């Protein structure tokens, strides 16, 4: 197939486009979903080739073909580059689309379906990043970024804006090749940027400030802002601007990049919504401060990508010439990158959702069938018996005095007021001091018990223990060691009690509640001491 000249449509395609049925492919599994439709991993029945089938959503179209699909097909037919996804062909299903019950789908009773056939890629960048324990090396990040910028530079030279650069649209195969995908929001542009374009493009976390402020005349700089967000995300390990809505997104940008004005962005005050989103106080630029742990050359490149003024933002071509890509460690060869099990954002989201559902089911079962002492810390039978005996004594006494620690409660703080809404929170501070039987060391510990009801449905008790003072047997207790101990504490330290049956209930700092707080504080402190071999059960 001949390669199209920049800005021209390649008409030298196979005459078979659209003439084959989707029945030539066997769908294996769904790997993506969006407003456009679904994406499936599929196998061509004759050749066995693995491809990706992107179903074009037709159920909302009363007549005709979706304009976004027309644009995507037209653009992909003229783009041929090793870092841009390849559209292989278009296939159709001649009959009406059916739902899961085998009935014609609503809004598509007399229509068939149209599928775009793409080369299959093993991963997308988001799915790969979300793998447990995944951390990209610097040569790997440089390799991915260089390929991203190379593909984007090719698009911009051919006067195409992608307008939806994000991790799930950057596909990677097991040969280490990265390709730009999902051109559903892509658009051709003129070099003078005089045409009005919609500003309702680019996923919110990667949307540049000019679009959030209402600009309708823009160019390749909008894609470069998204690339900067991806770059920082790869280095930082998580999204850097995760706003929930447009005002919050702008505020996050201002907090990181400073407030735009006529000095750092000439003409910004003329953008339609500038005054609507003007912050109450000016903010200074903090990119270097927030990402001070980045490599110097990486930080220089990021600064130029996240420039507020789009006219001063670095281009893809200039970014490829940045010092970052020419200093050690150099970008690695794609073929040398490790091979991973297939990872797509859709699949990782689905797995996380299933895991959350399983955890919620397990929690509900535990609440319905409580077993207070089934998760005691690992210890000998004698220690377990002593522990149960101590708890029994504690429940009968006004203030618990477990046998493994001679101590007393010195002060108990007054409750704090309820939080907003039906939920209420009270806080009790307990100061404990005593002598351990084993070492004879004096221990002073402070525990803060926070008692709250959520939605008036149940009472939750959480006890935070500050590091005890006076441990004189070489045990250093800091907050890091406390965090390491927490997963091994038994579940009865955190069990809800009591569980009121009526709504609108708020906890009161009654004697019973204070007593419960003290009991649980004792449990945690004694377990902490046992972990560091200062006391014994």
Catalytic residue positions, numbered = 164
Tell me the range of 189-193, 262-266, 416-420 where mean pLDDT is highest: 262-266
* Coil vs helix vs strand at 360: helix
Determine the Cα–Cα distance for residues 409 and 444; give it in Å rounded to an integer: 10
Q: What is the mean pLDDT of residues 114-134?
A: 91
Token pair listed for 46: 């004759």
Residue 8 Cα distances to 33, 69, 71, 103, 180, angstroms: 31, 19, 14, 43, 20
Q: What is the pLDDT of residues 52-84, one digit of tens each?
A: 999 987 766 666 778 888 889 999 999 999 999
Mean pLDDT lowest for which of 146-160, 239-253, 348-362? Answer: 348-362
Looking up tokens 């991993």 gives 41
Tell me the range of 283-287, 478-482, 499-503 where mean pLDDT is highest: 283-287
Which has the higher per-residue pLDDT, 13 or 436?
A: 13
Which has the higher per-residue pLDDT, 28 or 400?
A: 28
Torsion angle in degrees (nearest 10) through CA of 143, 147, 150, 152:
-130
Which has the higher per-residue pLDDT, 422 or 276?
A: 276
| Packed helices 381-396 and 511-531: angle between N→C axes, nearest 10 degrees | 160
* Coil vs helix vs strand at 522: helix
Q: What is the pLDDT, as a whole number, of residue 63?
A: 64
Token pair listed for 307: 């420039």
pLDDT band at 527 (very low <50, low <70, confident <90, very high): low
Q: Is 304 exposed, middle or buried (0-12, 13-18, 19+ CB in 10 A)?
A: middle
Q: What is the pLDDT, as a whole number, of residue 352?
A: 63
* Average pLDDT value over all residues in the chain: 73
Q: What is the mean pLDDT of residues 523-533?
A: 50
SS (H, E, C) 13-79: CCCCCCCEEHHHEEEEEEEEEECCEEEEEEEECCCCCEEEEEEECCCCCCCCCCHHHHHHHHHHHHC
Class of domain 20-98+110-120: alpha beta
Bridge-based pairing of strands 170-172 and 178-180 is antiparallel
Is residue 271's pLDDT more than 50? yes
Second CATH level (architecture) for the domain 124-346: Orthogonal Bundle (1.10)
Kind and range of the H or E run holding 391: helix 381-396
Q: What is the mean pLDDT of residues 375-389?
A: 44
Is residue 20's pLDDT more than 60? yes
Q: Is 317 annotated as a binding residue?
A: no
Listed in sequence order, the residues at least 6 apart from 342 whose beta carbon sits closer than 8 Å to its beta carbon are 31, 122, 123
Is residue 427's pLDDT more than 50? no
Kind and range of the H or E run holding 446: strand 442-453
Number of C-beta neighbours around residue 75 at 10 A? 22
Determine the Cα–Cα distance for residues 281 and 330; give it in Å rounded to an integer: 42
Token pair listed for 16: 């078979």
In DSSP notation, 125-188 reads HHHHHTSTT----HHHHHHHHHHHHHHHHHHHHTTEE-----GGGEEE-TTS-EEE---TT-EE
Domain definitions of the chain by residue range: 20-98+110-120, 124-346, 381-531
For the entire predicted model, the pTM comes to 0.64
The answer to whether the CB of 21 falls within 8 A of the CB of 93 is yes
Is residue 26's pLDDT more than 60? yes
| Packed helices 221-236 and 296-305: angle between N→C axes, nearest 10 degrees | 150
């Amino acid at each position: 197939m001949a390669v199209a000249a920049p800005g021209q449509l390649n008409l030298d395609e196979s005459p078979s486009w659209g003439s084959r049925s989707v029945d030539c492919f066997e769908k294996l599994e769904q790997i993506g979903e969006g407003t456009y439709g679904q994406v499936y991993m599929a196998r061509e029945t004759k050749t066995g080739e693995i491809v990706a089938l992107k179903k074009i959503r037709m159920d909302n179209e009363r007549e005709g073909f979706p304009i976004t699909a027309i644009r995507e097909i037209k653009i992909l037919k003229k783009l041929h580059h090793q870092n841009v996804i390849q559209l292989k062909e278009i296939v159709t299903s001649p009959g009406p689309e059916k739902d899961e019950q085998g009935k014609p789908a609503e809004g598509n009773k007399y229509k068939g379906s149209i599928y775009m056939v793409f080369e299959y890629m093993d991963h997308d960048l988001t799915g790969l990043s979300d793998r447990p324990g995944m951390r990209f090396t610097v040569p790997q990040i440089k390799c991915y970024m260089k390929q991203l910028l190379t593909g984007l530079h090719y698009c911009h030279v051919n006067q195409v804006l992608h307008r939806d650069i994000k991790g799930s649209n950057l596909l990677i195969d097991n040969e280490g090749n990265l390709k730009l995908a999902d051109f559903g929001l892509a658009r051709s542009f003129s070099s003078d940027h005089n045409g009005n374009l919609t500003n309702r493009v680019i996923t919110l976390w990667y949307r540049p400030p000019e679009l959030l402020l209402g600009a309708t005349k823009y160019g390749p700089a909008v894609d470069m802002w998204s690339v900067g967000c991806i770059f920082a995300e790869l280095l930082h390990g998580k999204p850097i601007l995760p706003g929930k809505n447009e005002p919050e997104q702008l505020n996050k940008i201002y907090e990181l990049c400073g407030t735009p004005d006529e000095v750092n962005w000439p003409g910004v005050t003329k953008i339609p919504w500038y005054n609507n989103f003007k912050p109450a106080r000016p903010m200074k630029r903090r990119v270097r401060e927030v990402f001070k742990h980045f490599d110097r050359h990486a930080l220089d490149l990021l600064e130029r990508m996240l420039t507020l003024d789009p006219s001063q933002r670095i281009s893809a071509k200039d970014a490829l010439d940045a010092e970052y890509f020419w200093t050690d460690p150099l970008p690695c060869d794609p073929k040398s990158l490790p091979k991973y099990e297939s990872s797509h954002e859709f699949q990782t989201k689905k797995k996380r959702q299933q895991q959350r559902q399983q955890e919620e089911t397990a929690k509900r079962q535990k609440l319905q069938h409580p077993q207070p002492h089934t998760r005691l810390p690992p210890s000998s039978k004698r220690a377990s018996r002593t522990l149960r005996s101590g708890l029994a004594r504690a429940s009968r006494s006004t203030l618990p005095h477990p046998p493994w620690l001679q101590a007393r409660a010195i002060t108990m703080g007054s409750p704090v007021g309820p939080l907003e809404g039906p939920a209420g929170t009270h806080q009790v501070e307990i100061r404990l001091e005593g002598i351990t039987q084993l070492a004879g060391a004096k221990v002073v510990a402070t525990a803060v018990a926070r008692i709250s009801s959520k939605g008036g449905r149940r009472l939750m008790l959480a006890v935070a223990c500050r590091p005890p003072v006076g441990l004189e047997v070489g045990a250093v207790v800091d907050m890091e060691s406390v965090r390491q101990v927490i997963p091994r504490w038994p579940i009865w330290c955190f069990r809800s009690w009591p569980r009121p049956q009526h709504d609108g209930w708020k906890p009161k700092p009654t004697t019973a509640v204070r007593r419960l707080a003290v009991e649980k504080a004792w449990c945690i402190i004694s377990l902490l001491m046992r972990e560091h071999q200062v006391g014994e059960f």
